[in-house]
């Protein structure tokens, strides 16, 4: 696919369906051209969200142990291709794709087979979905706002059979809170790997927190802003190319998180004022609105404004004021303890 081959009417129709709820009424793919054009544009944007989720998993020191992957609700298959490429195709034996649209299954399977010739790629059979056999790594992407009750029940059953789950959704308040509620439902049978730094009840769902939701932002590739094709796409689709909000949940049935005690995840984006930065912090103690005075640590203040990395930090606090902090990476020993400029 190249820009000159895009099926713009198909993209317009798909966008209208996503905005007005038609996507929840059944298969919306009409042709391979639909899927190719979607994969090249909207799918690529979803891929950038997956890239950021996968970076965070690497930052935390986690990778799947399963050698078999099921991409449920695969669409064009962007989630599976991003995950398999990131972790390395040599670490997997098979990929199974499923979508309520046979055209999507065909497209996703063909694209994956082309990208990973040594991988055993196939569409899911009804028997596989209906059985009680254990599953390996289950990938779920951008489906929650499209699922009728029966489909959601079927997905819950699949999660119950999975060894590991990576689930990525849009970063809207409604979808994020729905995913958080599912996290609570699945928690007894799984270890929470991300985004949570704890396995306590989700603080976003606590009474009085109805206006909050767990969401994050992925950085788009910088070069797209100088690409007239992406600029045109953003204008026609009514999309702010700079903003890629997402929410996600990663679960592992056997292995616990390696997150050290006291690790925090910043929700959304920090807000910078001239004398201080303000952020919504989530850790084992719950949600808290924290401030970082600029004079406390100029470098940290600047980093919070400019970093494109997932916002995992270890803080030293005096009440709701940050007195020292450091970004966390399991592979960086220096990040194991907060530092201060003082």
Please list the residue range(s) of the chain that carry CATH number 3.40.50.150: 3-252
Please list the residue range(s) of the chain that carry CATH number 2.40.50.140: 263-336
CB 121 within 8 A of CB 109: yes
CA atoms within 13 A on the CB side of 191: 13
The architecture CATH gives domain 3-252: 3-Layer(aba) Sandwich (3.40)
Q: What is the pLDDT of residue 259?
A: 82
Which residues lie below 8 Å from residue 267, measured CB to CB, with a gap of 6+? 212, 214, 215, 216, 279, 280, 281, 282, 287
Six-digit token string for 245? 């909000």
Q: What is the pLDDT of residue 27?
A: 72
Q: What is the pTM of this model?
A: 0.93
Other CB atoms closer than 10 Å to residue 98's CB: what's the count?
20
pLDDT values of the chain reduced to their tens digit, one per residue, 342 residues: 889 999 998 898 888 877 766 555 667 888 899 999 999 999 999 999 999 999 999 999 999 999 999 999 999 999 999 999 999 999 999 999 999 999 999 999 999 999 999 999 999 998 888 899 999 999 999 999 889 999 999 999 999 999 999 999 999 999 999 999 999 999 999 999 999 999 899 999 999 999 999 999 999 999 999 999 999 999 988 889 998 999 999 999 999 988 888 999 999 999 999 999 999 999 999 999 999 999 999 999 999 999 999 999 999 999 999 999 999 988 653 333 333 332
Q: What is the pLDDT of residue 26?
A: 62
What sign for the dihedral angle of Cα 194, 197, 199, 205?
negative
Which residues lie below 8 Å from residue 149, measured CB to CB, with a gap of 6+? none
Check whether domain 263-336 has CATH 2.40.50.140, yes or no: yes
Six-digit token string for 11? 């993209």
């Amino acid at each position: 696919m190249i820009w000159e081959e895009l099926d713009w009417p198909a993209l317009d129709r798909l966008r209208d369906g996503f905005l007005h709820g038609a996507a929840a009424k059944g298969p919306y793919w009409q042709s391979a051209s639909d899927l190719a054009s979607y994969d090249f544009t909207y799918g690529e944007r979803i891929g950038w969200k997956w890239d950021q989720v996968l970076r965070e998993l690497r930052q935390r020191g986690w990778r799947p142990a399963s050698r078999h992957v099921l991409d449920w609700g695969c669409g064009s298959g962007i989630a599976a291709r991003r995950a398999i490429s990131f972790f390395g195709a040599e670490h997997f034996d098979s990929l199974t794709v499923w979508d309520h649209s046979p055209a999507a299954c065909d497209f996703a399977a063909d694209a994956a087979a082309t990208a990973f010739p040594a991988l055993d790629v196939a569409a899911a059979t009804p028997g596989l979905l209906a059985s009680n056999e254990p599953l390996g790594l289950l990938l779920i992407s951008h489906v929650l706002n499209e699922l009728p009750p029966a489909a959601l029940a079927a997905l819950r059953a699949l999660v119950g059979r999975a060894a590991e789950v990576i689930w990525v959704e849009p970063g809207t308040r409604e979808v994020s809170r729905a995913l958080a509620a599912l996290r609570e439902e699945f928690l007894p049978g799984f270890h929470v790997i991300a985004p949570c730094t704890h396995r306590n009840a989700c603080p976003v769902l606590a009474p009085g927190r109805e206006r909050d939701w767990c969401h994050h932002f992925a950085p788009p590739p910088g070069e797209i802003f100088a690409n007239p094709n992406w600029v045109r796409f953003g204008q026609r689709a009514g999309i702010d190319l700079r903003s890629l909000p997402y929410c996600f949940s990663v679960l592992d049935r056997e292995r616990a998180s390696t997150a050290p005690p006291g690790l925090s995840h910043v929700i959304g984006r920090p807000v910078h004022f001239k004398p201080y930065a303000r952020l919504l912090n989530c850790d084992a103690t719950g949600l808290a609105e924290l401030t970082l005075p600029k004079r406390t640590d100029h470098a940290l203040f600047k980093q919070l404004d400019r970093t494109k990395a997932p916002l995992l930090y270890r803080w030293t606090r005096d009440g709701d004021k940050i007195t020292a902090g450091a970004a966390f990476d399991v592979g960086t020993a220096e990040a194991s303890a907060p530092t201060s400029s003082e």
